[in-house]
Structure 1
Amino acid sequence: MIRKLSILALSLAALAPAFAMDAARSEAKEVIALQNGELLYVFKDGLMAKEGKFGRVIHLRKGEVVQTADGKSITTMGNETARLNSLLNKGHGN
């Protein structure tokens, strides 16, 4: 019985980051995978933000050229680090 409860608790804990990521993905018009494991979020107003491969927001310079996973180049617009950070942290506050 205790083992089953432990498995259930671990399963629910593994789902928690998925809900936070869902807020960021629902706000973004498009999420593009980059070559180095990072993600580029393109919001509905055309501005962009970048998430690192470990789930942290990375500073994005205006006009920076990034490579997608399939080899295309994208020139970035804006630096929406604050917006992405709040979306990724949504639901994790006290």
Structure 2
Amino acid sequence: MRLLKTVFVTLFFIAAITFAIKNQESVSLQYYFINDEVWTMPLFLLVFISILLGILVAGFGGVFTGFKLKQEIKRQQKTILELEDELNSLRNLPIMESKQPYE
């Protein structure tokens, strides 16, 4: 498994390096809220920055979801303990015979 991971990471870096070498043309970036400024950068840098920002946003979303799930687990465990206590108390009740015959 470790060998497979190493091969995959190596191939990924080789692909990234060859992408960077082949895409060195400059591109200009202009956005709606940036009126007069035009940023110029190599295409590969723009792609790598976009990928990095996507990874960061997804990572923060994953961390937020993880915290919510941990809170839900704690709440569910508390409910389970309460229900188990109730079940044990019901099991320990003495059995009473009914005075009415079955219908």
Question: Whose helix fraction is larger, Structure 1's or Structure 2's?
Answer: 2
**Structure ID, larger Rg:** 2
Question: Whose strand fraction is larger, Structure 1's or Structure 2's?
Answer: 1
Which structure exhibits the higher relative contact order, with contacts defined as CA atoms closer than 8 Å and separated by 6 or more residues? 1
